Amino acid sequence: MNICIIGTGFVGVVAAAVYASLGHTVIGLDVDLAKIEKLRQGIVPFFEPQLKELLIEQQSLGKLSFTTEYKVAISNSEIVIIAVGTPSAPDGQADLKYVVASAESLAPFLKEKAIVIIKSTVPPGTLPKIEDVIRRKTQVKFFTASLPEFLKEGSAVHDTLNPDRIVIGATDPFVFATLEALHAPFEAHIVKVRPESAQMAKYAANAYLATRITFINQIADLCEKNGADIQDVIEAIGYDKRIGKHYWYPGFGYGGSCFPKDVKELAAYSRAINEEHNLLNKINELNEQRVAKLLDSYKDRIGGWQGKKVAVLGLSFKPNTDDMREAPSTRVIPYLLEHGAMVTGYDPKTVEVAPHFIPANEHLSFTEDLNAAVEGTDVIFSLIEWPEITTYDFSSARNKDKTQWFIDARNQFSPARVSEWGFEYIGIGR
Ligand code: NAD
């Protein structure tokens, strides 16, 4: 099939490369010329395992190309997938301006019977609005569908090739049949539902995972007050099959480009439809307050942050990505600077992007050299569990002339091991 993906950001590039690898002819379209030129040269403007190799391979096979021209991209495409950004608008709801703009631009070139799919995360009720936008600019018969994206950054290519499920939101049998055939090679569960259900499923999945993280953080806080260890509690509750041992991450709260945004958008959407009294506002509030709450609570223990030399390790929002959108580091580092600390930020992949999120200054520097980052520090702050960090022997950073603290923000280290290295251990809920 001929497929056009509109928006070659994170989701769009992964989708384009993966559909091409299934044998389709895919064209990626973006309004950002610099991005398109990079992609044409096989340069992925962010770090994601396996993606660059797949992109180069599919371009060299002639299955994948990139353009900035709507006419070129749309005229020949049976399937048009909108994967542009949906940032939060000032009222907190998803801002659909990029989705609307792409619908307006694609409409004049739409092929008869093309299927326009929204992959961007959008609230229920979006499809009819986009259909209206397109109908104003074309006479051709076209179809629409919602195909929410569930990949995880850091394992996006793997997730897209091996999805837990594909959710197709549509009403027309032709659309279901075409999209089912398109995704058959994945051998995944295909959930065929109304568009509104597909859109709610995307928000519900992210809101649930964010709630799970916030919940275990609350339990961790209680453990700190009563001598329980959150890791023991997780093991104990995890044997209950209704609960499970997976996906418990007590820590500094959730981040990334999706959870914070999607929780806020779902909360705002709820307000807009008069369902204001709900859990989502509280989840968002607790998550936003979490970094300051924890860092305040360490102040007495370490004798204040003023003048402390702190190595913050792991700046991306999780391992295997260089994405720092709403990463815990973007709250932790400004807090530390504000409270008088001197910070070195270490990350294996974000050294170039980090200054765009947190401008370096005389009290803040970034490095890719872990040895240099931890040298002479008062506090080592293991924020994200990159393997480079969790397998490092921190005994080399020990200075016997002073007390040093080790903040294990994701409970990745054994407290006994950290004590053996000579540091005062501070974990989460232990
Ligand atoms: P992104 O910001 O990385 O990329 C969006 C791209 O769209 C940019 O390259 C931008 O130039 C382009 N664009 C904007 N307006 C355009 C237009 N009119 N025509 C053509 N291109 C245009 O966004 P992303 O992280 O890829 O997310 C895209 C959508 O997918 C969002 O709705 C997001 O919530 C959702 N999503 C993201 C993830 C993720 O892990 N990043 C996961 C699931 C769902």
pLDDT of amino acid 170: 98
Amino acid in position 412: Q
Q: Which residue, 280, 208, 202, 285, is CA-closest to 247? A: 208
State pLDDT tens for residues 24-72. Answer: 999 999 999 999 999 999 999 999 999 999 999 999 999 999 999 999 9
Query: What does the alpha-carbon distance between residue 336 and residue 381 come to, in Å, rounded to a whole number?
Result: 11
Backbone angles phi, psi at 310, to 5 degrees: -120, 130
Q: Is the pTM of this model over 0.85?
A: yes
Average pLDDT, whole number, for the chain?
96
pLDDT of amino acid 407: 98
- For residue 11, the ligand 1 atom closest to its alpha carbon is 26
Q: Compute, in angstroms, the gap from residue 98 CA to the centroid of ligand 1.
A: 9
Query: What does the alpha-carbon distance between residue 114 and residue 75 come to, in Å, rounded to a whole number?
Result: 10
The answer to whether 190 and 178 have CB atoms below 8 angstroms apart is no
pLDDT of amino acid 73: 98
Query: Quick check: is 258 catalytic?
Result: yes
Amino acid in position 292: A
Query: What does the alpha-carbon distance between residue 425 and residue 429 come to, in Å, rounded to a whole number?
Result: 12
The mean pLDDT of 159-177, rounded to a whole number, is 97
pLDDT of amino acid 180: 98
pLDDT of amino acid 321: 94
DSSP state of 195: H
Query: What does the alpha-carbon distance between residue 398 and residue 412 come to, in Å, rounded to a whole number?
Result: 19
pLDDT of amino acid 360: 85
- The answer, yes or no, to whether residue 276 has pLDDT greater than 90, is no
Using a 6 Å CB cutoff, which residues line ligand 1? 6-12, 29-32, 35, 83-86, 98, 101-102, 105, 120-121, 149, 151, 153, 257-258
With vertex at residue 99, the alpha carbon angle to CA 95 and CA 100, rounded to the nearest 5 degrees, is 95
DSSP state of 82: E
Q: Compute, in angstroms, the gap from residue 119 CA to the centroid of ligand 1.
A: 9
The answer to whether 293 and 147 have CB atoms below 8 angstroms apart is no
Distances 327 to 27, 51, 130, 202 between C-alpha atoms, Å: 31, 22, 32, 21
Residue 139: CB partners within 8 Å, gap ≥ 6? Answer: none
Query: What does the alpha-carbon distance between residue 100 and residue 136 come to, in Å, rounded to a whole number?
Result: 12
Q: Compute, in angstroms, the gap from residue 196 CA to the centroid of ligand 1.
A: 20
CATH class of segment(s) 216-430 = alpha beta
Going by CA atoms, what residue is nearest to atom 22 of ligand 1? 7
pLDDT of amino acid 277: 87
| Helix 230-238 × helix 195-226 angle, to 10° | 130
Q: Compute, in angstroms, the gap from residue 185 CA to the centroid of ligand 1.
A: 25
The answer to whether 234 and 216 have CB atoms below 8 angstroms apart is yes
The mean pLDDT of 179-193, rounded to a whole number, is 97
State pLDDT tens for residues 327-385. Answer: 999 999 999 999 999 999 999 999 999 999 999 899 999 999 999 999 999 999 999 99
- For residue 148, the ligand 1 atom closest to its alpha carbon is 44
pLDDT of amino acid 44: 95
Residues spanned by CATH 3.40.50.720 within the chain?
Answer: 2-193, 216-430
Q: Tell me if residue 379 falls in helix, strand or coil.
A: strand
The mean pLDDT of 8-31, rounded to a whole number, is 98
Which helix (DSSP H) or strand (DSSP E) does residue 374 occupy? Answer: helix 370-374
Q: Tell me if residue 359 falls in helix, strand or coil.
A: coil
Query: What does the alpha-carbon distance between residue 103 and residue 122 come to, in Å, rounded to a whole number?
Result: 14
Q: Tell me the CATH number for domain 2-193.
A: 3.40.50.720
Pairing assessment for the beta strands 189-193 and 115-118 based on DSSP bridges = unpaired
State pLDDT tens for residues 286-303. Answer: 999 999 999 999 999 999
Residue 313: CB partners within 8 Å, gap ≥ 6? Answer: 346, 347, 370, 373, 374, 380, 381, 382, 383, 384, 386, 389
- The answer, yes or no, to whether residue 278 has pLDDT greater than 90, is no
Which of 55, 81, 210, 258 is flagged as catalytic? 258
